Amino acid sequence: MKLYRTSKDPILESNQRYYRVSSDWDALINRGDLIDYLTSQIAPGNETELDSVLAPIGSQEVWAAGVTYYRSRTARMEESQQAGGGNFYDRVYNAERPELFFKSSAHRVAGPGESVRIRKDSKWNVPEPELTLAINSKGEIIGYTIGNDMSSRDIEGENPLYLPQAKVYDRSCALGPCILIDRELLAGSTEIRIRLERNEEAVFQGSTTLAQLKRSPSELVEFLFRDNSFPQGCFLLTGTGIVPPDDFTLQSGDRIEISIEGIGTLANMVD
């Protein structure tokens, strides 16, 4: 089952049919009986069309994990070498405690088809395609969506203490197109793919699988909820395993397409 947030009611997709779900978004994703309730909405009288899809977020916070793939560890070590930050990334990759950082409040998040932004004061910017966990207020993973952790690599590489500025700015995060409602872990063979287009031509394509993710989703959630409450639930991006070559930077007008098997495709233009 897939759950979409739209400009009207939430919409459930089941067997390629769409059903209206009359509920407030925050209340819905925190229901203890979510799967049973959604199943009860699959009725001919509720059938509808899918229209005006928004980011699948109400008032949740968005957090992110970093350096959870070997590719990310290596890219970060290279970008921060001159600043003397290099071995922090190796250490966090191997440490028991993961890197977790606040990524976005809901108002900074772009939905499917909306534009993401690159920072005005940055010259080296990349998208980060990440499996994203949808978590309820009890700390239970209720499903999965696609996240784009837009990042300014020059700011992050200049000094690791600049991380919040490299990561958090208006429309620096995209989520969508839906939440795949599933309490089971996605298979290690699940592919994450990205395609970057400029003037309708591919300028970068990459892929990875969840088997490359060093930490389990439940381990990341356990650390996030250790001493934090999330009354409306939250989203947690699980880190990137795909980093474009160092001579690549996003430009205004580029198109970013991120696909995860079983969830769908999140497409955004760059403002």
Residue 141 C-beta: closest distance to ligand DO4, Å: 19
Q: Distance between alpha carbon 55 and the CA centroid of its chain, in Å?
A: 11
**Which stretches within the chain are classed as H helix?**
25-29, 34-40, 70-79, 86-94, 153-158, 163-167, 217-224
Indicate whether 190 belongs to the interface with Mg ion (CB under 5 A): no
Query: What mask, x for binding Mg ion by CB under 5 A, covers residues 144 to 163?
Result: -----x--------------
Residues numbered 225-254 forming contacts with Mg ion, rule: CB under 5 A: 240
Residue 70 C-beta: closest distance to ligand DO4, Å: 10
Distance CA 125, CA 151 (A): 6
Peptide bond into 177 cis (omega under 30): yes
The item of Mg ion, ligand DO4, none sharing an interface with residue 99, based on CB under 5 to 8 Å by kind, is ligand DO4
The item of Mg ion, ligand DO4, none sharing an interface with residue 208, based on CB under 5 to 8 Å by kind, is none
Residue 48 C-beta: closest distance to ligand DO4, Å: 36
Residue 54 C-beta: closest distance to Mg ion, Å: 22
- Return residues touching ligand DO4 (CB under 6 A): 64, 66-68, 72, 76, 99, 128, 149, 156, 163, 239-240
Indicate whether 128 belongs to the interface with Mg ion (CB under 5 A): yes
Determine contact, residues 236/65, Cβ cutoff 8 Å: yes
Nearest residue to 193 (alpha-carbon basis) of 258, 246, 99: 258
265 Ramachandran zone, left/alpha/beta (phi>0; psi -120 to 50): beta
Residues that bind Mg ion (CB under 5 A): 128, 149, 240
